[in-house]
């Protein structure tokens, strides 16, 4: 089967004996939560990443370290493990090889095409705007600095600049005037997921807010989580909250857009659909990730089943009919203050003095400046109060160099 869909649920079994086996491509904090949820069904989990001791590797049954952009290494690992499912949890993967492996019969979640299109901003933007006719910001593409400069002038200032082969805000910037063009171009060529290359230049949208609409595609059809609002800093999420308040008509339009995109991508699993909400009630499509979303960490405290549990159920061929949110909550990301090896965390006891607060330390073996290392989660009666509690808890935690020595940076 090559569609990514499973018409019958797996027969579950015993790890190392007869359990379904999942090869997890990406072993960060999101992959770690997915691994744990899969293991609740007795699934054998093999975690892969480009560095050793990644968070998901610490809980998986087995792990492999290799550059997942290396097609030969990816194929060799797949042939060695013979997984029942391959689950991409990051963008930097040799998606061309996934497409070839899927054609040979490998099951990729949700599909290899979805992994390919959503890593390639050109592919997903053309799919959304040109094939599906969904509302998006105006855009142009450029391969050289000269083409980029011309595109920026055609689009007008300010404009948004993003590497085509990237996601999660990596390499993204806003050029507010011609004087910003060199810096924006250089960032796009050095900070993307796969290095230098083609960029997309977007119209700057003056949006009222930005949301993530977690969309679950399962054997039971399409289900939605309540919308998640979020704040970003330099392309990375720093806070999220659920639910994000929005008019019912605007929510219905957001769900329509999300369903169109996810149905076109196909397969089973949870998708993080990012949308701009405009003050006039319009909704613009921004991006989609065919996997749990970092802003969705808040669901660990707000929903009966987190985004990770929903993803696990859906990819295993189990039905998800309704998503139940039982609390209003927020998350705040704790980021590294600098280059650290074997980080240590102080103040956790003080942070959880508030009995409405939880802390998740990801266990990353080292850190570069502003790398996300942990998250505080809080619930309350209102979004504003939950956000305040999460921020207070985060600010009580101090991260310092561990015993492994410093990283030259």
Residues annotated as catalytic are 167, 169, 274, 287, 294-295, 372
Is residue 150 within 8 Å of 201, Cβ to Cβ? no
CB atoms within 10 A of CB 352: 16
Picking from 249, 243, 241, the residue whose alpha carbon sits closest to that of residue 227 is 243
Is residue 283 within 8 Å of 296, Cβ to Cβ? no
Torsion of CA 70, 73, 79, 80, to 10 degrees: -150
Rounded to an integer, what distance in angstroms lies between the CA atom of residue 179 and that of residue 82?
52
Lookup: tokens for 375: 């998250």
String of DSSP letters for 194-245: S-S--EEEEEPP--SEEEEEEEEEETTEEEEPPPEEEEEETTEEEEEEESPP
Contacts of 226 (CB under 8 A, 6+ apart): 242, 243, 244, 302, 323, 325
CB atoms within 10 A of CB 104: 10
Q: Which helix (H) or strand (E) holds 184?
A: helix 181-190
Q: Which residue has the tokens 């079994």?
A: 13
Using CA atoms, how far residue 21 sits from 42, 166, 208, 351, in Å, is: 9, 28, 43, 38
């Amino acid at each position: 089967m090559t569609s990514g869909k499973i018409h019958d649920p797996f027969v579950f079994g015993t790890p190392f004996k007869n359990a379904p086996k999942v090869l997890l491509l990406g072993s960060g904090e999101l992959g770690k939560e997915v691994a744990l949820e899969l293991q609740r069904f007795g699934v054998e989990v093999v975690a892969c990443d480009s560095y050793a001791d990644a968070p998901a590797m610490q809980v998986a049954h087995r792990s492999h370290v290799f550059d997942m952009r290396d097609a030969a290494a990816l194929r060799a690992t797949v042939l060695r493990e013979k997984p029942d499912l391959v689950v991409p949890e990051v963008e930097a993967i040799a998606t061309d090889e996934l497409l070839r492996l899927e054609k040979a019969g490998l099951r990729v979640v949700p599909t290899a095409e979805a992994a390919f299109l959503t890593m390639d901003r050109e592919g997903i933007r053309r799919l959304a705007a040109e094939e599906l006719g969904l509302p998006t910001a105006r855009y142009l593409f450029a391969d050289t600095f000269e083409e980029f400069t011309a595109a920026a002038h055609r689009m007008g200032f300010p404009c948004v600049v993003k590497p085509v082969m990237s996601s999660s805000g990596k390499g993204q910037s806003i050029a507010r005037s011609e004087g910003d063009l060199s810096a924006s171009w250089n960032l796009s060529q050095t900070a993307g997921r796969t290095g230098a290359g083609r960029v997309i230049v977007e119209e700057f949208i003056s949006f009222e807010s930005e949301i993530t609409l977690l969309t679950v595609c399962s054997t039971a059809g399409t289900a939605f989580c309540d919308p998640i609002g979020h704040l970003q800093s330099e392309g990375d999420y720093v806070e999220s909250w659920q639910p994000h308040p929005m008019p019912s008509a605007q929510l219905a339009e957001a769900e329509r857009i999300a369903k169109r995109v996810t149905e076109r991508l196909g397969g089973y699993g949870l998708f993080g659909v990012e949308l701009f909400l405009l003050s006039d009630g319009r909704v613009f499509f921004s991006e989609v990730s065919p996997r749990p979303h970092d802003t969705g960490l808040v669901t660990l405290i707000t929903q009966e089943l987190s985004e990770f549990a929903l993803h696990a159920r859906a990819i295993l061929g189990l039905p998800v009919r309704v998503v139940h949110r039982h609390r209003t909550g927020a998350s705040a990301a704790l980021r590294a203050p600098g280059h650290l090896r074997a980080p240590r965390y102080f103040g956790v006891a003080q942070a959880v003095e508030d009995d409405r607060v939880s802390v998740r330390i990801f266990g990353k073996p080292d850190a570069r400046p502003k790398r996300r290392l942990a998250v505080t989660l809080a619930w309350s009666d209102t979004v504003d109060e939950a956000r305040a509690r999460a921020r207070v808890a985060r600010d009580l935690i101090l991260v310092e160099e561990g015993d492994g020595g410093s990283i030259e940076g």
